[in-house]
Amino acid sequence: MRSFLQDPKRLLATIIAGGVGLVVFVDSLGSIPLISPVATLLVTWTATLLGLALLIGLGSVIGTHFQHVASREPTWGYSVVLLFAMFTVIALGIFGVPGQAFPVSLSEEPLRLSFRLIYEPLASSLLALMAFFSLSAILRAIQQRRAEAICIILVALGVLLAQTPLVAGLAGVDAAVGSFKDYVVLAGARSILLGTALGTMVASLRLLLGFDQPYLDR
Amino acid sequence: MALRPAMEKFSTLFATLYLIPAQAILGLLIIFMMIGFTWLHHAQALHGNLPKFRPLPALDTLRAALRRGAETGRAIHLSPGAGSIGQPPAMAQTMAGILAAARVIEETALKGTPVLVTSGDAVAHLALKGALRQAYQHAGQAQDYAPASVRLLALEAPTAYAMGLMTTYSPQRFEASQIIGPLGPEFILAGEEAAQYSIPQLVGTTSVSALPLLFLVSPSVLIGEEIFATEAYLTASSTPQARLLTQDALRLTLSLLVVGGLLFQSLVALQPMLPFTLPFLVP
């Protein structure tokens, strides 16, 4: 593969991507009179492109589920429900409801009502199932005798027991749990966060400098 | 006489630097160090001068599935999770998941193994569609590219994504499932569903609230920064290898700073008990 310095198409794309990223990055450090308007304009363009990406994704979802219905796949009924719900919410957002103010965001009626009455109860119910799914996963992990999983289960059981009134009232339990959280748990969480931050910084810097070009064909 | 203007310029520069806050100078030094590492490791990777990386046993699940998939014809499921590229906290993880999925897609396109790619973000959906199309074109199998293999299950809704993933697992058998990206506790719903169908899973995230649950549903878990290293382990290309080298160098530098700082603080605390005075601790 040629170096991107010898390829005008790749070089131009790299300069544009790196330049745009650098402008937005510098603007995020502090407001600079010459750079702020340019950065704001670039971010606005990005938001517009994200909206277009959403439309394309929407088209993909509609196409997939129409195909499920047309080919009468076993789950075609669910696809009908999905398409009906999708078009209903879209219609509510575009046309509003007669007699009510036109919604300009998802947090306004009647869109907010549809989410409050339908999506939120469903999501809460499904999240309530997490306890049972976790129990099922714990039983399977014990049957498979996986060391890491058993270690996690034992620690979770210990913390659970330590919170019961009988055990929490014992001398030293509170301090022991606090020390465990403040030193062991916090140290582990911080190490993961530091590693994540380093990975993010390196990936971002390589993108800005043009070493990584995921926006181009390989 | 020629030195005088240069010295005046240097004095002006020094005075200007003196006015810049110490934190800003330290930040700039760190950025320049990172840029230096990036250049150095990119050159090192291009010349093939790479160290031997430690093995990641979690990836063995995926490698075995890739070998089997070509024979069984069962699809491999790939996903960068429910994160969004437009949201900074999850962006890097989503990118890592997309890059890892893209490398697997390249291999499956060459072997003729079917894939099903799902995502919870419109931009990630487009990126994965592009990666799938490119992979089939490069493999000379452009006619096998099926846009319906890339599905958008939800948009910025992790719970809805998890539910969509559950329904994806039920109708067909998968050879394996790779999900690398920003995952939350709700992933237990989809992960346990896959485990009940005995689908081998490779999962990875940096979320400390989700990691314990991932270990319950799969023995193949990538913890934290390992998700950024996954691409380097899936390909012999120099770019991800260089990225991994830079991450390792920065991690080593940070570790040395932490240990050095700990030793220094310990000496400061112990100074009153020592019978002698350490010169570098005297203010």
B195-212 residue pLDDT tens: 999 999 999 999 989 999
Residue B78 lies in a domain: yes
Report chain B residues whose CB lies below 8 A from the CB of A26: none
Q: How would you write the pLDDT of chain B (283 residues) with one tens digit per residue? A: 455 666 666 556 655 555 566 677 777 777 788 888 888 888 888 888 888 888 889 999 999 998 888 888 899 999 999 888 877 778 889 989 999 999 999 999 998 899 999 999 988 999 999 999 999 998 888 888 888 899 999 888 899 899 999 988 987 789 999 999 999 999 999 999 999 999 999 999 999 899 999 999 999 999 988 999 999 899 888 888 888 888 888 888 888 988 998 888 888 888 888 777 666 655 5
Is B222 domain-assigned?
yes
The reply to whether B109 touches chain A by the CB within 8 Å rule is: no
* B25 in A contact zone (CB under 8 Å): no
Contact predicate B90/A196, CB 8 Å? no
Q: Identify residue B131 by its one-letter amino acid code.
A: A
- Strand stretches in chain B, DSSP E: 75-79, 115-119, 150-152, 174-180, 201-205, 220-223
* pLDDT of amino acid B120: 92
pLDDT in tens, A148-163: 999 999 999 998 898 8
Size of interface A-B (CB pairs under 8 A): 158
Q: Is the pLDDT of residue A211 over 50?
A: yes
Q: Is B251 on the interface with A (CB under 8 A)?
A: yes
Question: What kind and span of H or E run contains A28?
Answer: helix A8-29
- Establish if B134 belongs to a structural domain: yes
In B, residues 187-226, which contact A (CB 8 Å cutoff)?
Answer: 188-189, 191-192, 195-196, 206, 208, 211-213, 215-217, 219, 221, 223-225
Three-state DSSP at A193 gives: helix
* pLDDT computed for residue B43 by the predictor: 85
Look at residue A115 and tell me whether its pLDDT is greater than 50. yes
Q: What is the CATH number of the domain that holds B80?
A: 3.40.50
Interatomic CA distance for residues A101 and A93, integer angstroms: 11
Give the global pTM. Answer: 0.85
Q: Could you give the residue ranges of the DSSP H alpha helices within A71-185?
A: 76-95, 111-114, 120-128, 130-144, 147-162, 165-168, 173-179
**Contact yes or no for A141 and B191 at CB 8 A:** no
In a domain, B53, yes or no: no
Q: Which of residues 130-159 of B touch A (CB under 8 A)?
A: 134, 138, 147-148, 150-152, 155, 159
Q: What percent of chain A has pLDDT over 70?
A: 92
Rg (CA), chain A: 26
B32 to chain A: nearest residue by CA? A205
Amino acid at B199: I
Residue B230 lies in a domain: yes
Interface test with A, best of B133, B138, B151, B215 (most A CBs within 10 A): B215
| pLDDT bucket at A1, cuts 50 / 70 / 90 | very low
As a whole number, mean pLDDT of residues A90-99 equals 79
* B278 assigned to some structural domain: no
Q: Is B47 exposed, middle or buried (0-12, 13-18, 19+ CB in 10 A)?
A: exposed
SS3 category, A75: coil
Cross-chain Cβ contact B247/A202 below 8 Å: yes
Whether the ipTM is more than 0.85: the answer is no
Q: What is the pLDDT of residue B194?
A: 94
Structure tokens at A140: 């399977």
Mutate to test the interface with A, among B215, B216, B234, B244 (most CBs of A within 10 A): B216
With an 8 Å Cβ cutoff, are A123 and B160 in contact? Answer: yes
> Rounded to whole angstroms, how far apart are CA atoms A211 and B10?
33
Question: Helix A36-70 vs helix B122-138: angle between axes, to the nearest 10 degrees?
Answer: 70
Q: What is the pLDDT of residue B190?
A: 94
Closest by CA position to B99, among listed A152, A213, A82, A50: A213
B/e letters for A129-162, b = 16+ CB within 10 Å, e = fewer, are: ebeebbebbbebbeeeebeebeebbeeeeeeeee
Q: At what angle do helices B187-196 and B158-169 cross, to 10 degrees?
A: 10
Per-residue pLDDT at B13 = 61
User: Within 10 Å of residue B214's Cβ, how many Cβ atoms?
Assistant: 26
Are B159 and A138 in contact (CB < 8 Å)? no
- Rounded Cα–Cα distance for residues B178 and A65 (Å): 24
The radius of gyration computed from the CA coordinates of chain B, to the nearest angstrom, equals: 25
Helix H or strand E segment including A49: helix A36-70
Q: Is B162 a member of any domain?
A: yes
Burial tier of B183 (Cβ tally within 10 Å: 0-12, 13-18, 19+): buried
Structural domain span for residue B123: 59-234
Number of domains forming the structure of chain B: 1
Please, what is the average pLDDT of chain A? 84
A19 band by pLDDT with thresholds 50, 70 and 90: confident
